Amino acid sequence: MKLLVTGGAGFIGSNFIRYMYQKYPDYLIINLDSLSYAGNLENLRDIVEQDQKKDKRYTFVKGDIADSKLVNTIVEQGVDGIVNFAAESHVDRSIDNSRIFIETNILGAQVLLDAGLRHNVSRFIQISTDEVYGSLGPTGLFSETTPLAPNSPYSASKAGADLLTRSYFETFGLSTIITRCSNNYGPYQFPEKLIPLFITNALEDTQLPLYGDGLNVRDWIFVEDHCTAIDKVLHHGRPGEVYNIGGNCEKTNKEITMTLLQQLDKPQSLINYVKDRPGHDRRYAIDCSKLCTELGWSQQYDFQQGMQRTVTWYLENKPWWQRIKTGEYLDFYKRWYEER
């Protein structure tokens, strides 16, 4: 199988490429990534080194998914499946400026869908998010039939791509599938997201900016479990369907923070309650029974195991995140933080 994976230099995309490359020794993988602030070729250095020595079945192409000419040049050479991870992925940045979110998340998806259709790609997986469903009250779960009600420019752009993906199935018969996963954590996550930001800040003895009352709830899943779910969907999912992916692990942000401080042996005085995120969704929780019963997926990591692996990885890979935090990201973070 020849796969075009977009956004493969980011957090989940790089974990997915590593997983697929190792699991399927005969698969060819093309990674198309524009190397935005969140894209980092270091994330796949081990795979590149392994591939250069032996296999020669991994190719990196630097480019924009919204570049129709480039995308068509890649896909016309023969691609069996497209897995679209490429996106602007951070809610706070979308509040700061939503333009690039529309360009990449919606227009980029349109270019990929068109290329998939034109060149008879047999599988198109749109990696979406549970945030398209909006926010839950204290009870209930998101199912695949929950109406879309996105609240941030980020989630609105992802919902736009979902609807476009659906339309390419209904109108043209392109074999599309949408996955909607909850909050991921694990190695190589860019330190702007809650867990890696708080781990790395705590290791540097700087403050942990907890939004609002710290009681917003997310459903956490270890990134490798997300990858195994996408693998199932890619090979066995039904065209035209949506599959929710979740970790069955609801935690408040405060609980996450306390767990991290305890694991790192750092004081609670590092916590700084700051102004809330505008439009902050209160609670996400996923019903992924369709994926489990129909495709036989189950998660391998509970929260304790996943967090142990994650914290250990950040402890062992300080140069990786320190290089990021001293760069462009720091300026953005400082500005955002100072505004609170």
Query: Is 302 in the active site?
Result: no
Looking at 262-321, which runs of residues are DSSP E strands? 271-274
136 binds ligand DAU, rule: CB under 6 A: no
DSSP-derived letter for residue 80 is S
Query: Is 338 in the active site?
Result: no
* DSSP 3-state of 288: coil
Among positions 35, 41, 70, 203, the unique one binding ligand NAD when judged by CB under 6 A? 35
Among positions 14, 15, 31, 89, the unique one binding ligand DAU when judged by CB under 6 A? 89
126 dihedral zone (left: phi>0; alpha: psi -120 to 50; beta): beta
7 binds ligand NAD, rule: CB under 6 A: yes
Taking the complex as a whole, the smallest distance from the CB of residue 5 to ligand DAU amounts, in Å, to 17
Q: Which residues of 1-17 are buried (b: 16+ CB within 10 A; e: fewer)?
A: eebbbbbbbbbbbbbbb
211 binds ligand DAU, rule: CB under 6 A: yes
For residue 207, give every residue at least 6 positions away whose Cβ sits within 8 Å of its Cβ, in sequence order, or none.
201, 270, 271, 272
Round the CA-based radius of gyration of the chain to a whole number and report it.
19
- Residue 108 binds what, of ligand DAU, ligand NAD, none (CB under 5 to 8 Å, by partner type)? ligand NAD
The residue among 28 and 286 lying less far from ligand NAD, judged by its C-beta, is: 286
CA distances from 112 to 96, 105, 227 (A): 26, 11, 21
151 binds ligand DAU, rule: CB under 6 A: no
The residue among 42 and 55 lying less far from ligand NAD, judged by its C-beta, is: 42
Residue 272: phi and psi, rounded to 5, are: -130, 110
Residue 189 structure tokens: 């996550």
Taking the complex as a whole, the smallest distance from the CB of residue 162 to ligand NAD amounts, in Å, to 11
Residue 331 structure tokens: 């300026």
Among positions 18, 123, 158, 283, the unique one binding ligand NAD when judged by CB under 6 A? 158
The residue among 71 and 221 lying less far from ligand DAU, judged by its C-beta, is: 221
* DSSP 3-state of 16: helix
Residue 142: phi and psi, rounded to 5, are: -80, 125
* DSSP 3-state of 258: helix
- Write the interaction track for ligand NAD spanning residues 166-205; mark x where CB under 6 A is met and - where it is not: ---------------x-xx-----x---------------
107 binds ligand NAD, rule: CB under 6 A: no
Q: In sequence order, what are the beta bridge partners of 209? A: 272
Among positions 18, 93, 123, 193, the unique one binding ligand DAU when judged by CB under 6 A? 193
Query: Is 130 in the active site?
Result: yes
Pairing between β-strand 2-6 and β-strand 81-84 as defined by DSSP bridges: parallel
Is-contact 161 126, C-beta < 8 A?
yes
93 binds ligand NAD, rule: CB under 6 A: no
- Residue 11 binds what, of ligand NAD, ligand DAU, none (CB under 5 to 8 Å, by partner type)? ligand NAD
Catalytic-role residue among 33, 64, 88, 131 = 131
197 binds ligand DAU, rule: CB under 6 A: yes
Nearest by Cα to 68 from 104, 101, 114: 114
Provide the annotated active-site residues. Answer: 130-131, 154
| Contact positions vs ligand NAD (CB under 6 A) | 6-7, 9-13, 33-36, 38-39, 64-66, 85-89, 104, 108, 127, 129, 158, 181, 183-184, 190
| Contact positions vs ligand DAU (CB under 6 A) | 89-91, 129-131, 182-183, 193-194, 197, 209-211, 216, 218, 253, 277, 284
